Structure 1
C-alpha cells in the first residue's frame, strides 16, 4: 500500500538545485554572534508542501485573489497535522528561496495565505546545473519513490513527477489519516449517499488509463504549440507567454493527477468521496476532474449527463422567492423579471446586453459581481446595479459581513436540491447517479426518467421548470397553449 501526489519535474529540479546550494536551517541569524543551525530535513515534507500549493483544489483547499495573486490558506493547525511541528522551518525556507510568497498577515480566523510562484516554468539558465530527477521503483525499501510521467516528444518541460509515499516515510500516517477522514465521512452521510451512490461510484469510476494519459500529453503539447504560435506572431508578449504556460502546466498536472489517482485508487488510497464544509457539496474524483476527461470513463458512451443550465443564477431564485412575500412593489417586479430571465435560460444573454460583451465575458463578469468583495470591481457592479438595483442590493447585503456567504449559500441550496432530493429520488427509482454538483451522470436508458425527477424537484423549490442541458443540448420546458 502506498500514497501518491504529483508535481512538475522542473519544480522539483529547482528545489533540489537550491537544497544542494543552500542548506535549510532551524533559525535565522539576527546578530554577528549567531550561527546557523542546520535542519535535518525530510525531502518529502518539501514535496508535499509544494504539491498542496500547486494543486490546492485537489487537496480540498480554496484559492483567493489578493492583489492580483492567487493565494491558498494554510493554517498552523493544518500544517502541523500534515507536516509536523517543524512545518515553519520548511515554509520559511521555501519563502527565502523564492518558491512561495506569504501575505505576511493573518486573514480570517488567523490563517496565513501563501502563493506559489510560477517562475520555474522559465527555469532554463545555462548557468544553472540541474539536479535531475531519476526514477526509483523499489517501494519496499525507500520511504519516497518517484516516477517520471513524461512525453518524449516535448522533453522535461512537460514531465510530471509521481511521488509515492511508502509506510517507511514519516508522512505516511498523517497522509493516510487525511485520506481516511475524507472517505470515512461517508459513514455520517444519508443512506442513499453512503451506500448506494458510493458503491456505484467505486464500481463506475474506471478510466481507460492509457488513452487518458495520451490525451493529457496531447493536451499539453497542442496548447503549448498554440501559445508559442501566438508569441511568434506577436499576438502575446513574453510575459503573457510565461504566465499562460504556468496556467497550462497547472491544467496539465490537474489532468494527469486525476488520471493517475484512478489507476488503483483503493490500493493507493486515492479515492475522494467527501461531503464536508459549509456548502455540503459532495466532492469526488469526478467533481475534481476536468470535464474533458469524462469520455475516458469506461462505458461513458452509454451515459447521459443532465445539468441545470445557468445553475447559480437560477438557484438564487430560491432566496429571492422567499423574500417576495414581504417585498416592496418595486422589488417584487424586479424579482419577477429576474425569475423570468433565469428560468428561460437567458441570464448570460441579458448580461451581454448590459455590458456589451460576448457570452464568455458575461460569465466572468457575473462571477466578479456575485463572488468578489463589495468594495471590489465597483464600476462593473454599478453598471449591473443600474439594471437590477433591488437584486444587487440583496447580493450586496448578503456579502456585507463575509463576502463568501453568498456563494456558499448558493452551493448549500444546490447541494440540498441535488444530493438530498434529486439523487435520493433517483436511487429510490433504481437509478444510480454519479453526482457532479449541479448535474448527474446516469445510464442513458434512464435519461427521460431522470429528467422528469430532476425537473419535478427543481420546480418544487424554484416554482417553475428551468432549462436543463442534456448531453450538451438545452431542453426548454414545454409551455401549454
Structure 2
C-alpha cells in the first residue's frame, strides 16, 4: 500500500544536488544580526510540491496560463492541509533556489500562483547515484521507495522516477483520508452508479501496461524530436523550445502516472470514481486518462465510443431554449440560427468563417470566448459579437458575477443528461457504460441500442437529434432538414 508520484530524473537530481550544497531554513535573513534557523525538512514534501507543479492534472490540480506560462494556483489553506504549517519554508526554498516562480501580483480568491521553471531540462549532473535507490529508506526524513522507469534501452531519453510513499508517510495518510471520503460519498450514489457502473468500471479498467509504458516513452521521444527539428530549422527560438519541452514533460508524466495508478489500484488506493462538486461530473481514472491511452485498455477493440459532437456548444442550446420564451425578437432569431448550426455539427466550421482561421484555431477561440473573463480577449470577442451580438450578450451576462459560472452551468447540464439520464437508461436496458463526461464507452455489440438511447435522451432536452460521433465517425440524423 503506497502513494506514488512521478518526477523527471533530471529534476530530482538537481533538487538533491542543491539540498546537498544549501540546507533549507525556517527563516530568511532580514539583517546582519539575523541567524538562519535550520529546517528539519522532509524530502517527501519537496517531492510532492514538485510533482504537483510538474503534473498538475495528474495530481488533481488545475493550471492557469499567464503570459504564455502555466501557473498552478495553490491556496494556503490547501498547502497547510497537504504539506503542513511549515509549507512556506519549502516553497521559499524552491523559489530562492531557482526551481519555482511565484506570481504574487496576480491573485484569484487570494491564491498565489506557482510555475515550475523548465531550466532543469538542460541541467546535467554526474551524481546519478542519487536516483538509484532500490529499497525503502529507514530514515526520519522520508519513508519512500524510489525506482527508475527507464525510457529507452540506450538511456538517451530522460528517465522518470517513481516515488512511493509508505503508510508511515503523512502524505499517504492524507491520500487515504481522501480515498475513504470518496468511498463514503460513493455510498450515497444511486444503485446504477455505485453498484452497476462501479463494478463494471473495476472489471474493465485493466491495461496492457508494457505496451502503454512503451507508448508513453515513444510519445515523448517523437514529439521531442519534432520540437528539436523545429528549433534546428529556425522555426522556434530556444525559449520556445524549452517551454514546449516543459509542457511535453508534463504530458508525459501525466500519462505515466495514469498508467501506473492502474497497476494495483485497490492496494494503492488509486481508484478514482467520485461524483462531487457543483458540476456533478463523474470523475474516474478513465476521465483523467489522455484519450490516446484508451487503446491500451484490454478489450478496447471490442468497444465503441459514442460522444456528442460539439458537445459544449450544443448543450448551450438547453439554456438558450429556456430563455427563448421571454426573449426579444432579435434574440429569438439568433437562437434559431445558433440552434440550426450547432445541432447540424457545424459550429466550429462557422467560427472558422467568422475568425478566418482553421477549425482547430476556431475551437480554441470559442474556448477563450466562452470561458475567459469578460474583460479578456476583447479583440477576439468583438469579432464574434459582430456575427452573434445577442448570443454574445447572453454569454457575457452569465459570466458577469463569476466568469466560471458559464462553464460550470454547461457541465451541470452535461452531467444531468449523461449521468442522470443516459447512463441510467443504459443500465436499465442492460447496457453497462464507461462514462467519459459527454460520451460513453460500451460493448461494440451494444452500439445501436446505445445510440438510440443517447439520441432519444438528448432530443428530449435539446429539442432535436444532434450529431453523434461513433468511434470518430460522425453520424447525422436521417430526417428531413439534416445532412446525411
- For normalisation by structure 2, the TM-score amounts to 0.95
In the alignment, which residue of structure 2 is the partner of 1:359?
Answer: 359
SS in 2 for 1:146: strand
CA distance in 1, matches of 2:234, 2:89: 44
Given that residues 151 and 157 in structure 2 are in contact (C-alpha distance below 8 angstroms), is that contact kept between their aligned partners in structure 1? no
CA distance in 1, matches of 2:154, 2:328: 63
After TM superposition, the structure 1 = structure 2 runs for residues 22-33 of structure 1, keeping only pairs within 5 Å, are: 22-33=22-33
CA distance in 1, matches of 2:169, 2:147: 17
After TM superposition, the structure 1 = structure 2 runs for residues 369-408 of structure 1, keeping only pairs within 5 Å, are: 369-408=369-408
**1:52 positional shift:** 1.4
Given that residues 352 and 358 in structure 2 are in contact (C-alpha distance below 8 angstroms), is that contact kept between their aligned partners in structure 1? yes
In angstroms, what is the RMSD of aligned CA positions?
1.7
CA distance in 1, matches of 2:64, 2:184: 28
SS in 2 for 1:268: coil
1:133–1:452 Cα change, 3 Å: farther
CA distance in 2, matches of 1:154, 1:387: 56
Given that residues 146 and 161 in structure 2 are in contact (C-alpha distance below 8 angstroms), is that contact kept between their aligned partners in structure 1? yes
CA distance in 2, matches of 1:166, 1:118: 29
**1:319 positional shift:** 0.5
**Alignment partner of 1:134 out of 131, 135, 149:** 131
Given that residues 150 and 156 in structure 1 are in contact (C-alpha distance below 8 angstroms), is that contact kept between their aligned partners in structure 2? no
In the alignment, which residue of structure 1 is the partner of 2:206?
Answer: 206
SS in 1 for 2:164: strand
The number of aligned residues is: 478
| Pair 1:184-2:184 in alignment | yes
CA distance in 2, matches of 1:246, 1:36: 33
CA distance in 1, matches of 2:351, 2:71: 29
Given that residues 101 and 114 in structure 2 are in contact (C-alpha distance below 8 angstroms), is that contact kept between their aligned partners in structure 1? yes
Deviations 1:310-359 (A, max 9, x none): 00000000000000000010100000000000000000000011111111
| Pair 1:346-2:343 in alignment | no
SS in 2 for 1:430: coil
SS in 2 for 1:383: helix
Given that residues 2 and 268 in structure 1 are in contact (C-alpha distance below 8 angstroms), is that contact kept between their aligned partners in structure 2? yes
**1:174 positional shift:** 1.6
SS in 1 for 2:187: helix
CA distance in 1, matches of 2:67, 2:340: 37
Given that residues 72 and 115 in structure 1 are in contact (C-alpha distance below 8 angstroms), is that contact kept between their aligned partners in structure 2? yes
Given that residues 82 and 175 in structure 1 are in contact (C-alpha distance below 8 angstroms), is that contact kept between their aligned partners in structure 2? no
In the alignment, which residue of structure 2 is the partner of 1:227?
Answer: 227
In the alignment, which residue of structure 1 is the partner of 2:247?
Answer: 247
1:268–1:351 Cα change, 3 Å: same
1:280–1:156 Cα change, 3 Å: farther
CA distance in 2, matches of 1:246, 1:316: 35
After TM superposition, the structure 1 = structure 2 runs for residues 96-115 of structure 1, keeping only pairs within 5 Å, are: 96-104=96-104, 107-115=107-115
1:346–1:358 Cα change, 3 Å: same
**1:140 positional shift:** 8.7
| Pair 1:10-2:14 in alignment | no
CA distance in 1, matches of 2:112, 2:239: 28
Deviations 1:394-446 (A, max 9, x none): 10111111111111111111111111111111111111110101000001111
Given that residues 140 and 166 in structure 1 are in contact (C-alpha distance below 8 angstroms), is that contact kept between their aligned partners in structure 2? no
CA distance in 1, matches of 2:328, 2:154: 63
After TM superposition, the structure 1 = structure 2 runs for residues 60-75 of structure 1, keeping only pairs within 5 Å, are: 60-75=60-75
Given that residues 354 and 384 in structure 1 are in contact (C-alpha distance below 8 angstroms), is that contact kept between their aligned partners in structure 2? yes
Given that residues 24 and 93 in structure 1 are in contact (C-alpha distance below 8 angstroms), is that contact kept between their aligned partners in structure 2? yes
1:214–1:129 Cα change, 3 Å: closer
Point out the more displaced range, 308-317 or 143-152.
143-152
